[in-house]
């Protein structure tokens, strides 16, 4: 792990071209606020800009990040939903794909009186092509779903029923399928082709209903189900304020959030970069996940926090 005390605009140009797999960028949000760890602390930073100053700063950082990113790499740009538009317009200039991920960081707030409470941050997932490195990550299964859906049981274990037939709003593969003397030919067709269905039969993964006229289902086993494939709404990771982590920096993000990004777009040993690393959450996540990491920050307080956090 490499921790660098300097302005990222001075350090990014020194890094090797096409060397970084994933960049997590959590810059100031252009929020017109000054952030401190608490009322008596000097740890923090000032986030006051004109829109012109902010746009110039963000564009200069992005310009320097693009060359050092691997061709199949990803850059994640974290911003508040209120200030998402300026960064979005800049990111579109430098990346072919800019996909927003919506992080629901908190629940409702009882102290909001004259506005709608803000609960969403945007994390723009940026890449140069659709073949960027990607591993599916999973969100926890809904407790009610888990308790009530896996009630069937066979020699493999408890299972839920997965749909094989298309709903009435779309049309799928049109063929007959016979199993144990029963023939199924759904009006709207099948979701999978016949070969895939036959493979499920060979592996004893089809549920044959006893009731006449019912649909055929596939078995989804509880012990094989890692959770729900992640969507672009991440609502299962609370902010530090509503979680169990100790806050080490005013705008620190939860480790689990960065771990998900790392799991999704890197392999063990890959290099991750955080150009404005704050309390070093990215470093902690990389340490947990056995990734290499470069952390940069110009704030001396942040550097001390990072070194203590990762035992350097």
Q: How confident is the model at residue 216 (pLDDT cuts 50, 70, 90)?
A: very high
pLDDT of the residue at 186: 94
pLDDT of the residue at 141: 80
Rounded to an integer, the average pLDDT of 136-149 is 85
b/e code 26-65 from CB counts within 10 Å (16+ = b): bbbbbeeeeeebeeeeebbbebebeeeebbeebbebbebb
Hey, which residues does 221 pair with through a beta bridge? 159
Q: Angle 63-64-67 (CA atoms, 0-180°, nearest 5)? A: 95
Phi, psi of 223 (to 5 degrees): -75, -15
Phi, psi of 72 (to 5 degrees): -100, 20
pLDDT of the residue at 41: 84
pLDDT of the residue at 38: 83
pLDDT of the residue at 109: 64
pLDDT surpassing 60 at residue 94: yes
pTM recorded for the entire structure: 0.84
Rounded to an integer, the average pLDDT of 16-42 is 92
Rounded to an integer, the average pLDDT of 63-74 is 98
CB-neighbour burial class of residue 263 (10 A; exposed 0-12, middle 13-18, buried 19+): middle
pLDDT surpassing 60 at residue 72: yes
Containing H/E element for 307?
helix 300-309
- Fold type of domain 2-139+228-309: Rossmann fold (3.40.50)
pLDDT of the residue at 142: 77
More confident residue, 15 or 240: 15
Q: How confident is the model at residue 213 (pLDDT cuts 50, 70, 90)?
A: confident
Task: In the chain, list all ranges with CATH 3.40.50.150.
Answer: 2-139+228-309
Rounded to an integer, the average pLDDT of 72-86 is 96
Three-state SS for 23?
strand
Rounded to an integer, the average pLDDT of 45-68 is 96
pLDDT tens for each residue of 260-312 = 999 999 999 999 999 999 999 999 999 999 999 999 999 998 899 998 887 75
pLDDT of the residue at 111: 65
């Amino acid at each position: 792990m490499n921790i660098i005390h300097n302005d990222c605009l001075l350090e990014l140009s020194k890094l090797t071209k096409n060397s970084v797999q994933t960049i997590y960028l959590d810059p100031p949000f252009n929020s017109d606020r000054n952030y401190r760890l608490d009322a008596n602390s000097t740890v923090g930073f000032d986030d006051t800009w004109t829109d012109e100053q902010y746009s110039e700063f963000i564009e200069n950082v992005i310009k320097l990040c693009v060359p050092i990113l691997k061709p199949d790499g990803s850059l994640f740009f974290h911003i508040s939903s209120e200030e998402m538009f300026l960064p979005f317009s800049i990111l579109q200039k430098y990346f072919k794909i800019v996909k927003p991920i919506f992080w629901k960081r908190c629940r409702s707030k009882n102290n909001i009186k004259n506005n709608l409470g803000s609960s969403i941050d945007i994390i723009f997932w940026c890449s140069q092509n659709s073949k960027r490195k990607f591993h599916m990550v999973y969100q926890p299964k809904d407790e009610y779903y888990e308790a009530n859906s896996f009630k069937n049981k066979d020699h493999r274990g408890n299972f839920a029923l997965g749909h094989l037939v298309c709903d009435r709003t779309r049309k799928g593969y049109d063929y007959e399928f016979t199993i144990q003397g029963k023939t199924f030919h759904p009006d709207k067709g099948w979701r999978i082709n016949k070969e895939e269905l036959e493979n499920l039969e060979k592996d004893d993964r089809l549920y044959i209903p006893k009731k006449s006229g019912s649909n055929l289902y596939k078995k989804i086993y509880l012990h094989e189900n890692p959770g729900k494939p992640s969507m672009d709404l991440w609502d299962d990771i609370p902010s530090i304020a509503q979680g169990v982590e100790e806050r080490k920096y005013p705008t620190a993000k939860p480790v689990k959030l960065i771990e998900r990004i790392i799991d999704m777009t890197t392999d063990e040993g890959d290099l991750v970069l955080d150009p404005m690393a704050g309390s070093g959450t990215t470093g902690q996540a990389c340490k947990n996940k056995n990734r290499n990491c470069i952390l940069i920050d110009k704030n001396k307080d942040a550097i001390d926090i990072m070194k203590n956090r990762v035992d350097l």
